[in-house]
Structure 1
Amino acid sequence: MRRRLRRHRHWRRSGGVAAAVSSARNGAKTLLVEKRNGLGGLLTFGMLNFLDIKHGSDGKSINKGLFTEWHKLVGGDSAFDIELGKAAFYKMVADEKNLTLSLSTQLVSAQLGADGSTVEGVKLRNKNGEFSVSGKRFIDATIDADFAAMSGAPFFIGGEDIFDKSRLMSVTPVIHLKGIDWAKLKKASKASGWKFGKVDFNDTTAWGFAELFTLYKPVENNTRLRGLNLVRIRQSDGDHFYINALQIFGVNGLNENEKKTALEVGRRETDHIVEYLRKEMAGFEKATVASDATELYVRETRHLKALYQLPMSDVWRNQDHWDSIGHGGYPVDIQGTSLKDLGTVVSNPKTYAIPLRSLIPQKLTNMLVVGRAAGYSSIAAGSARVVPTGMTTGEAAGAAAAQSIKSNVNFHKFSADEKLVETLRTTLEKQGALVKHFNSKYPYQGNGTIMQLRSW
């Protein structure tokens, strides 16, 4: 069976919902494909519900537009209820008359044009069997750029761009607990005798606990517990808690068997962690595992080779671009890549522009790639990989896809046309996105030695 749409996209993350909704709102008939039986990707199915939000000088997120729309639906906090997150994504999709959703649908293969520079269709599989869909534009929002790679888009792995292909950030299974006494934990963290390091609290999150890094001794090989990022969500059956802190090293995020093994290692190590916290940390005495992680938080695999590879120098210099389709600004957080590597925050930019060209594969003219696998250097991706930035790129890609169809211009030509790009930027601004040009100072500005490093 073969279907035809004006535009098709394949999705696995929140950026995919943003792309599909933006495309539909700009008039394109859009198909949103998801392999899971619900929406939200890693945020919801991986229980990664602590949002990394960069705030501007006004105290508000620099990622606006569709991210703000979704964020308001889930309460506008730094953490969110997982089921509410799924429902909010579904509402945004269901409200669009131009948008068709296909859940529990697997990507089988890409169908390329004769010269290999365009994607003409995609073969999919669901409970009814295999079928093909053709389209004019495609957006890959899969976490690993699976569709782009399958279509022949060039990419590199991990730190290959800095001559270390094996350098991959750790993976994390989120720990889901019940039974933590939040008030007792908060009180204990401020009392004398507390040994786990400074902890910051608000009503739904706590972060810090830096001394756990040295105090807790892992049992499983190639694992480490860093300071806790702890989320508290109130539900009808009591408070639920989610911890992003367990690091597992040496896992190839593109290998399903390695990911399955890592989940098993994570379950065993979680039991040891909970046992330790019950004995050692006030507030955890009655903590129990509420559910096991079924998906890993994989921070890094493929990086797209784009028309413009956003370098780290653009990030730390707070660089604007003429074809900016949104802003990034989260700290460049490079998580540990081995037991010997502690990880580091390379830079804390104020804001930097993400060019449209960084979403466009070098060899494919009718595809865009959004999310953490887009065209960033492996170091710059330490900032750009966060969810709000991914939704910003998704929203821009959806609008660009619809406008390129109307203009009958492929993405390579579209991105070189200043008038078309400015029309896109105007559209995004009307949708509430932040694309305004800026001129921002940066550390060591004017230092001749530092300027020699700008190609990094």
Structure 2
Amino acid sequence: MTSWTYSRELPVSEPVDVLVAGAGPAGIAAAVAAARRGARTTLVERFGFLGGNLTAGLVGPCMTSYSLDGSRQLIRGVFEEFVQRMEALGGAIHPSKTQAGDPYAGFITYGHDKVTPFEPETAKSVAMEMCLDAGVTLLLHTFIADVISEDGRVNGVVCASKSGLHVQPAQIFVDCTADGDVAARGGADTVFGREGDGLVQPMTVFFRISDVDDERVEQYVRSHPDDIRPFASIVEKARAQGRFPAPRRGVGMYKTLRSGVWRINTTRVLGRDGTNAQDLTSAEIEGRRQVDELMRFFRENLPGFERCELLDTASTVGVRETRRVVGDYVLSLEDLQEGRHFDDVIALCAYPVDIHDPAGAGGGVDDSFGTANYYEIPYRCLLPSEVENLLVAGRCVSATHEALAAIRVMPPSFAMGEAAGTAAALACADNLTLRQLPVPDLQHALVDQGGYLGEVLRP
């Protein structure tokens, strides 16, 4: 590829205390937490609404926020408020009211106790109002195009929008882009994909269907307990005959709050790089073609789906894995298996390892990894090792391929985001670097905000 040198002067916006990049679950929680602590906070988001994969990706339900045995809610704080506000509007069911193996959990038992069904439009509204109530400045329809950094410090991000290009300076930056865009362009060390071959988990275009016979579907699934996923025996027969359009071993499907409406997590696009625009384009094309083919297959082959209709598709293909930032600590599978305690714990989680096969049809939640009833995420995983005034939260956090496959889902992302936003605000208020910030101060702030960090750290 040839190159072109391009130079121009860019307008510089008024500096803020905290700049949060990306308004998915981690970004929402980070922005709300920072603003509530008094930090002047701007949240930059590429879509015209908040939520990331919660809304644009149609991903749902939120996986468990409870311990693996379902006995204790671990992730609270901003996430709990988000759920309660949606529930008050009739747009969610609190996780305490769902159970493993029910239709809301996709009939999956392991790791799916206490999921949170929700309506994406309600999530958009509640996320926006929570940010505005907290005093967050929203900058929508805006993309982080580049980063200005020097000597291990980010000085500003270059924002691209219909208004053109401008620089947004801040004292502290929180990268919630999922792909670690700010961190990578700001000089942080990153790794990509799984160790050894660099392959990443496949992408999925979620979609919703209506006019499903709920009772007939549940009756069929309950009467076929040997199927590893709903309709697996039908799918396997069709795959052997070359009639199933996606590399899947069953149908991923989750009942919604609306009668006859289900979320479908069944398309699978292999071998694409979520940080490459051409790969994302081809993934969108392939994923949406799979949606059309799956709709035909569902109507012709699945009991209860004979009259189903396509309600909508996600605004964007869902990406499970790309860059991971190398932080002051890299969370490992062994940490999750042993339930290892960290003195700088900032979140407790329990979702098990969920690796979709990067090269085929297998994978998903796997009990063979043997994760603990709950495990901890340390503050050091949010600190890129090469940059001083930057935090990361969500899917780009510092973890191995296997550990990330457990903590990449919605509730842990909320918890990491809340910790990052709180740390950023505390550091700004006391004019400290993120590494100078006393961790006990951060932990007590999180607990005071309604978070849960174990029985030792209680109000």
- Residue 124 (structure 1) aligned with residue 159 (structure 2): yes
TM-score (ref. length: structure 2): 0.85
The match for 2:208 is 176
The match for 1:43 is 54
- Residue 62 (structure 1) aligned with residue 79 (structure 2): no
Shift of 1:436: 2.4
CA 318–301 in structure 1, closer or farther in 2 if over 3 Å, else same = same
CA contact (8 A) 1:54 1:62 kept: yes
The match for 1:320 is 341
Mapping 1:5-404, distance limit 5 Å: 5-56=16-67, 59-74=71-86, 75=92, 76-77=94-95, 78-97=116-135, 99-113=136-150, 115=151, 117-159=152-194, 162-165=195-198, 167-191=199-223, 197=227, 208-217=230-239, 223-234=246-257, 239-339=260-360, 342=363, 345=366, 346-404=369-427
Shift of 1:197: 2.3
Higher strand share: 1
Distance in 1 of aligned mates of 2:51 and 2:363: 30
CA 14–195 in structure 1, closer or farther in 2 if over 3 Å, else same = closer
CA contact (8 A) 1:219 1:269 kept: no
Distance in 2 of aligned mates of 1:143 and 1:184: 38
SS of alignment partner, residue 298 of structure 1 = coil
Structure 1 counterpart of 2:164, one-letter code: G
- Encode CA deviations 1:132-170: one digit per residue, 9 max, x unaligned: 2211100000010111111111100001xx3222x2111
Structure 2 counterpart of 1:89, one-letter code: A
Shift of 1:343: 5.5
Distance in 1 of aligned mates of 2:230 and 2:435: 45
Structure 2 counterpart of 1:425, one-letter code: Q
Mapping 1:440-451, distance limit 5 Å: none
The match for 2:15 is 4
SS of alignment partner, residue 214 of structure 1 = helix
CA contact (8 A) 1:139 1:397 kept: yes
Shift of 1:188: 3.1
Larger mean CA deviation between 368-377 and 103-112 belongs to: 103-112
Distance in 1 of aligned mates of 2:166 and 2:242: 47
Shift of 1:107: 1.2
CA 228–59 in structure 1, closer or farther in 2 if over 3 Å, else same = farther
Shift of 1:212: 4.8
Q: Which runs of 5+ in 1 are unaligned?
A: 199-206, 415-419, 440-456
Larger mean CA deviation between 179-188 and 81-90 belongs to: 179-188
TM-score (ref. length: structure 1): 0.86
Aligned residues: 416
Shift of 1:425: 0.3
SS of alignment partner, residue 320 of structure 1 = coil
Shift of 1:349: 2.2
